[in-house]
A = this chain, B = another copy of it.
Amino acid sequence: MRYLPLSDRDRAGMLAVIGAADIDALFADVPAAARLAGPVDLPLAAGELEVERALSALAAQNRAAGAGPFFCGAGAYRHHVPASVDHLIQRSEFLTSYTPYQPEIAQGTLQVLFEFQTQVGALLGLPVANASMYDGSTACAEAVMMAARVTRRGKAILSGGLHPQYAAATHTLAHSAGVETCRLATAIDAEDAVVAAIDADTACVVVQTPNVFGSATDVSFIAQAAHAAGALLIVVVTEAVSLGLLKSPGEMGADIAVAEGQSIGNGLNFGGPYVGLFACREALVRQAPGRLCGETVDAEGRRGFVLTLSTREQHIRRDKATSNICTNSGLCALAFSIHLSLLGGVGLARLARLNHARARALRAALTAIPGVEALTPRMFNEFAVRLPTSAAPLVEALAGRGVIAGVPISRLDPGGGLDDVLLVCATETTTAADIDALAGALAEELAR
């Protein structure tokens, strides 16, 4: 077996050193009833060529986003990732290392985390960022838990523009810990509705911008309302590229900001692994979940980096920890950080403008089709359209024609009464030809 270095001769020699008669002797503690006599009922070992063939065949049964016109967004975005990013994250020293528990031989990972935290802080406009969460949705859930701890209050108000799966993930976790979530009705442009819902038990208000329908909102007024009521504002961003252009959560008064970082440096991967960004105000840091990397010096006074404030964490604090997170999304954070260090502020702004320009072109093409109406105000790179028919079957029909048209909102929110609403998204990877293909196919399908 190509991954197992021991030869049978090695095994025999080692058993002799141990003083065990055979390998079974080492499993003596296993109750006899639970010892399997032979291999379980699964295929036997396979060569690399065979495995590659089998899994490549499965991959070939999927229609890769890049294989043709493609317009899905809704929390996961297809952007171009420079080849150098994927090359670098495959360096053995990054790929095959563990959490940097021994800082003297993990300065590579640690310096990257320090840089990542600084980048995320700048992006989200808040002074403290952690070393990553699993993804945007779990970061959102943890932010709500944190707000409840900070405020010692028991309710979270979720805006109707919050990604429904974020809302669901947040509800599941918060509910179990006794934090009530109050999700407002799904709405394309009603972020202001949260203000009225704030009450004295409100720990936090959770608002997404651009929201799940693609609409951006200046949430400063919500920050004011929340703060006036002693609640925190949590701002959620699912399209990190928008932050190249749009006001940061911090700029608008967020106490905690969480974002899905997938858009930068990471592929679609059918939904994971992604990377959750988490930032907050300085005063809240000791309630923050996740790892934090900090600057320090070595015995000779040279700058170095370590994991710090770990008294918040499970491995030190155990049942008093701020979160149970351990493994996070390190390599995705590295990819994010590399891509962003290529882009810089200048490049991210250009990328954001390009995305916006392509989305405008897409909107112009789609709304030229009779019966198709754009619903999203203040759109960045994604918007909802109302169709003269149900969106889900139409998307299926278009897929049959080689065009992946977008996400029917009913997929995320089946009971929301928006069956005729389709979410479409354009990025720098969307070409004029792609847009023509969608517009053409859509017009034809609608005309049938």
Residues of A within 8 A of B (CB): 2, 48-49, 52, 80, 82-83, 87, 90-92, 342, 428-429
Pick from B52, B80, B90, B92: contact of A49, CB under 8 Å: B80
* One of B82, B87, B428 near A90 (C-beta < 8 A): B87
Task: With A2-B342, A49-B428, A91-B91 given, name 8 new contacts (CB 8 A).
Answer: A48-B80, A48-B82, A48-B83, A49-B429, A52-B83, A87-B90, A90-B90, A91-B92
Q: 9 pairs across A/B with beta carbons < 8 Å?
A: A2-B342, A48-B80, A49-B80, A49-B428, A49-B429, A52-B80, A87-B90, A90-B90, A91-B92
Which residues of chain B are near A80, meaning CB under 8 Å? 48-49, 52
CB proximity of A6 to chain B, nearest CB, Å: 15
Which residues from chain B contact A49 at a C-beta distance below 8 Å?
A: 80, 428-429
Q: How far is the CA of A49 from the CA of B49 in the complex (A)?
A: 31
Q: Please measure, in the bound complex, the distance between the C-alpha atom of A52 and the C-alpha atom of B90, giving whole angstroms.
A: 20
By a CB distance below 8 angstroms, the chain B residues around A48 are 80, 82-83
Chain B residues contacting A2 (CB-CB under 8 Å) are 342
- Which partner residue on chain B sits nearest A88 by CB separation? B92
- List chain B residues, Cβ under 8 A from A342: 2
Nearest CB of B to A34, in Å: 36
The minimal Cβ–Cβ distance linking A51 to chain B, given in whole angstroms, is 10
Q: A49 — nearest CB in chain B belongs to which residue?
A: B80
Complex contacts, A83 vs chain B, CB 8 Å: 48, 52
Q: How far is the CA of A48 from the CA of B80 in the complex (A)?
A: 9
Bound-state Cα–Cα, A49 to B428, Å: 9
